[in-house]
Every structure is written in structure tokens, then in C-alpha cells.
Amino acid sequence: MHRHELEFEQTRTTILIGRGLLGRAHELLVAEAGLAPEERIYLAIDSGPEGIVADRHGRVLEAALGEQGGLARGTFEALESAKSMETVERIWDDLLAAGIDRRGLMVALGGGIVCDVAGFAASGWMRGIDLVLAPTTLLCMVDAAIGGKTGVNRPLADGGLGKNLVGAFWPAKLVICDCDVLATLGPREFKAGLAECLKHALIDGEAAMNAFEGDLPAVLERDLDAMPDFVARSAGVKTSIVQRDPRELGERALLNLGHTYAHALESNVDLGLLHGEAVALGLVAACRAARAAGLLSGDELEDRVRRLLERCGLPSSLSAGVRIDLGALRDVMRLDKKSLGGRVRLVLPRGIGQIEVVEGLPEDVVDAGWSAILAGD
């Protein structure tokens, strides 16, 4: 079992990565999160496609926690439209009905949407209750569950979604990454998680990129014995950065590589992109924008990113015939949390392991990124 520790102001997050961990949930909560016998627990569970997360992994978790008194649960469909204040208020109603007080514990089992929403609900209930996350997607294990960010979307005037415009920093006490759950993750969702793993490798450096490429054959075969090392390596990149900059005042912004483009794409709900698919496109766009800005001298990095995305089964351009409104996407980019005063800030690569935040870029540089994924050239 791999262990990462993350100090976040007054909170310590322990991240455990291995196999068979859900079945040991009570033991781990007592040992790592200080669970007391009288504490009430609320389980926020992602139903998963055809109910698989709730029916299979939820039952394992509930059985492991069966000796704990005062166990309540709520099940949620992990859709971007459900990442809303309405869902948060539903959770708060459940917490009230279950008698969850300030000593209660929120445990979220699911992907990034459920963990974000449950985390935000935990941050506000009685001014904050303890949080434990048990991610069931690769993307959530290496990214969404780490670092304390929680939040919900807000509708935009044009009918799109403003990603994570409302939220709070509320770190989990414990993150349980049981790689066995990845066996039931849908192929599309599994591949989507690889985009964040590639992003972390790009940020970390050449050794991490080589390790990513070397691990990819076993990972794509869903070799569960190979997954803990792979997940731990990627999660470790984010953990190290967040440790140095917990509130995104500097270096943590580098983790948004490709995300300004990705969030703009996700705001167009008609595209139907998963977050990881949007990030994949965003990485290509960031490489092209970096070239247009004079940060990269050639197309070698963009070509390498495209090849790796294609090996992962991820998009490197939008499908032929897809039409998007660039003006609307630019407007969304100005609303992005990384923007300041309406000025778009992009996280761009100078090279592998050389990532920086750039602001005040001319519109043609930003649009160069869009051209990379529209034309797919």
C-alpha cells in the first residue's frame, strides 16, 4: 500500500493507494481518521452506470462500516447538471434527517463530481464536518480527490455551465484509493482519467513522461497489480505541488495546464465531453498556444502529446463537422477562476517539466490553441 501525506494549514490528509482497501474501511477510518464509536456517518454514493458503484462497491463499503452505529446514505447520479446547489441542499436535508452533528463524518464514494459536491456540503454543514473520500474513478484518484478543492457549477446566461464557480477549500482527512474499483470503471471513463495522468507527467519532467509511457501497456490492459504504482506516481505529483502551494497562490496553478481550454469546452454541454476528454483537448491547445506565444520553438511536444493521447484512446481534436462558437468560448475563458480582471491567463509549456502561467496574451495566440483542436492538423 502506498501512502502520501499532505499538510493543509490545520489539516492533515492521508492518501492511501492499494488494493482491497474498501473492505478495510472501518479499520482505516479508525486508524487514519480517528473515527470514534459514537460518530454518525453519512455516505454520499455515486450510483454509477447501471447502479454498479452503489450496488457493488457501496455494499462493500457499507459492510465494512456495519459495526459503526448511525450509518445513513444518499445516492446521486454523477452528472455535471447534478453538480449544483440543489444537490448540496438535498445532502444537507439528509444530514439533518440523519442527525449528523458537528462530530459527524461525510464519506463520499464515487468520481470527481460526487466528491466535489459532497465535499462542499461537508464544508458548510454546521460550519464544517470531517470528510473522507473513496474515489472510484482514475481521474478522481489522481486529481479531484487531492488538495481540498470542492465546488459546484453555476448556470451561465447562454445556457452553458460555469465550472466550479462556487466552492470552498475543505481537505479530506483521508482519501482511500482502492484500485480494485477500477475493474468496473467504464472504458471511456477509464481513458478519461489518463489525461490527468499525462498532464502530471508533463508537469513533472522527462523521467515522469518516460515512466508514463512505459506503464501505459499494462495500464491500458487494466492490470490491477500495476495500477497502485501508476496511481501513486501520478497522485504524488499533485500532492507535492499542493503541499508547497495549498491555496493556489503560485505553483499550484500549474496543475491547470490545459484546463482553461478544457473548462470552456465543458461549458458547451452539447459537446458531451467528459472532463478528462476536455483536458486531453486542452493539452493539445496549450501546446499550440505556447508555440504561437514563442514559448515553444517547434511542434515536437504537441506531436508527442497527440501520439500519447491517441494511444490512450483520447481525442486530440474535435470530431469532424463539430461547430463551436469561438466568441462564446472566449467569454467563458474570461470567467475562468484563473482569469484576473477579465484577462485570460493560460498555463502553457515551455517544454516537459517547464510549465508557466502566462497572462495578457493577444487573442490570436489564444485562438491558435483553438485552431489546433478544430483543425486537428
Report CA-CA distances (Å) from 231 to 6, 37, 225, 266, 352: 16, 32, 11, 25, 20
Predicted pLDDT at 10: 81
Strand, coil or helix: 37:
coil
Catalytic position from the list 173, 263, 306, 345: 263
Catalytic position from the list 196, 266, 277, 302: 196
Predicted pLDDT at 156: 87
User: Rounded to the nearest 5°, which phi and psi values hold at 150?
Assistant: -130, 165
Catalytic position from the list 4, 200, 259, 337: 259
Render pLDDT for 222-271 as a digit per residue (tens, 0 to 9): 999 999 999 999 999 999 999 999 998 899 999 999 999 999 999 888 89
Q: State yes or no: is 2 an active-site residue.
A: no
Catalytic position from the list 233, 275, 291, 337: 275
**Distance in angstroms (rounded) separating the CA atoms of residues 19 and 2:** 10
Closest CA to 373 of 289, 269, 257, 275: 289
Closest CA to 276 of 148, 156, 357, 186: 186
Catalytic position from the list 153, 164, 256, 268: 256
Q: State yes or no: is 56 an active-site residue.
A: no
Q: State yes or no: is 127 an active-site residue.
A: yes
Report CA-CA distances (Å) from 237 to 202, 228, 257: 10, 14, 13
**Distance in angstroms (rounded) separating the CA atoms of residues 102 and 132:** 15
CATH 3.40.50.1970 holds for 2-185: yes
Render pLDDT for 84-134 as a digit per residue (tens, 0 to 9): 999 999 999 999 999 999 999 999 999 999 999 999 999 999 999 999 999
> Is-same-fold flag (2-185; 190-375)?
no
Q: What is the pLDDT along the chain (377 residues), one digit of tens a residue?
A: 999 999 987 889 999 999 999 999 999 999 999 999 889 999 999 988 888 999 999 999 999 998 777 899 999 888 888 999 999 999 999 999 999 999 999 999 999 999 999 999 999 999 999 999 999 999 999 999 999 999 999 998 888 888 899 999 999 999 999 999 999 999 999 999 999 999 999 999 999 999 999 999 999 999 999 999 999 999 999 999 999 999 988 999 999 999 999 999 998 888 999 999 999 999 999 999 999 999 999 999 999 999 999 999 999 999 887 888 888 888 888 876 565 556 788 999 999 999 999 988 999 999 999 999 986 55
Torsion sign across C-alpha atoms 219, 225, 229, 232: positive
What is the CATH T-level fold of the domain 190-375, as seen in this structure? Dehydroquinate synthase-like, alpha domain (1.20.1090)
Q: State yes or no: is 83 an active-site residue.
A: no
Predicted pLDDT at 341: 56
Domain definitions of the chain by residue range: 2-185, 190-375
Asked if 89 contacts 74 with a C-beta cutoff of 8 angstroms, the reply is no
3-state SS string for 115-138: HHHHHHHHHHHHHCCEEEEEECCH
Torsion sign across C-alpha atoms 68, 151, 163, 377: negative
Burial 311-320 (b: 16+ CB within 10 A, else e): ebebbbbbee
Q: Which residue has the cell 460550519?
A: 127
What pTM was estimated for this model as a whole?
A: 0.93
Q: State yes or no: is 256 an active-site residue.
A: yes
Q: State yes or no: is 263 an active-site residue.
A: yes
Asked if 276 contacts 195 with a C-beta cutoff of 8 angstroms, the reply is yes
Burial 276-306 (b: 16+ CB within 10 A, else e): bbbbbbbbbbbbbbbbbbebbeeeebbeebb
Predicted pLDDT at 342: 60
Catalytic position from the list 4, 57, 200, 238: 238
Residues in the chain: 377
Q: State yes or no: is 268 an active-site residue.
A: no
Q: State yes or no: is 199 an active-site residue.
A: no
Catalytic position from the list 191, 199, 200, 252: 252
DSSP conformation letters of 80-123: GGGSSHHHHHHHHHHHHHHT--TT-EEEEEESHHHHHHHHHHHH
**HSE-up of residue 103 (Cα within 13 Å, Cβ side):** 8
